[in-house]
Amino acid sequence: MPPLEIGPEDWLAIGLTARLAAVTLVVLFAIGTPLAWWLSRSRSAVAGLVSALVAMPLVLPPTVLGFYLLVLLGPRGPIGELTQSLGLGTLPFTFSGLVVASTVFSLPFVVQPLQASFSALGERMLEAAATLRAGPIDTFIHVVLPLCRPGFLSAAVLGFAHTVGEFGVVLMMGGNIPGKTQVLSIAIYNRVEAFEYAHAHVLAGGLLVFSFVSLLALQWFNRGRGGSRLVGGDA
Tens-binned pLDDT, residue by residue, of the chain (235 aa): 445 667 888 999 999 999 999 999 999 999 999 999 999 988 888 999 999 999 999 999 999 999 999 999 999 999 999 999 988 889 999 999 999 999 999 999 999 999 999 988 877 767 676 676 667 788 888 788 888 998 999 999 999 999 999 999 999 999 999 989 999 999 999 999 999 999 899 999 999 999 999 888 888 877 766 544 444 443 3
Q: How far is CA 31 from CA 11, 25, 37, 170, 175, in A?
A: 30, 10, 11, 20, 26
- CA 115, 23, 30 angle in degrees (round to 5)? 35
| 96 Rama class: left (phi>0) / alpha (psi -120 to 50) / beta | alpha
What pLDDT is attached to residue 8? 85
What pLDDT is attached to residue 58? 94
What pLDDT is attached to residue 232? 42
DSSP designation for 7: -
3-state secondary structure of 67: helix
Torsion of Cα atoms, 217 then 121 then 115 then 117, to 10°: 10
**Hey, what domains does the chain have and what are their CATH numbers?**
8-225 (1.10.3720.10)
What pLDDT is attached to residue 133? 65
Alpha-carbon span 116 to 124, nearest angstrom? 17
What pLDDT is attached to residue 4? 65
Sign of CA dihedral 167, 172, 173, 176: positive
- Of 93, 210, 115, 117, the C-alpha closest to 163 is 210
Tally the C-alpha atoms within 13 A of residue 66's C-alpha that lie toward its C-beta.
Answer: 18
What pLDDT is attached to residue 233? 41
Query: Please, are residues 102 and 17 in contact by the beta-carbon 8 Å criterion?
Result: no
What pLDDT is attached to residue 36? 96
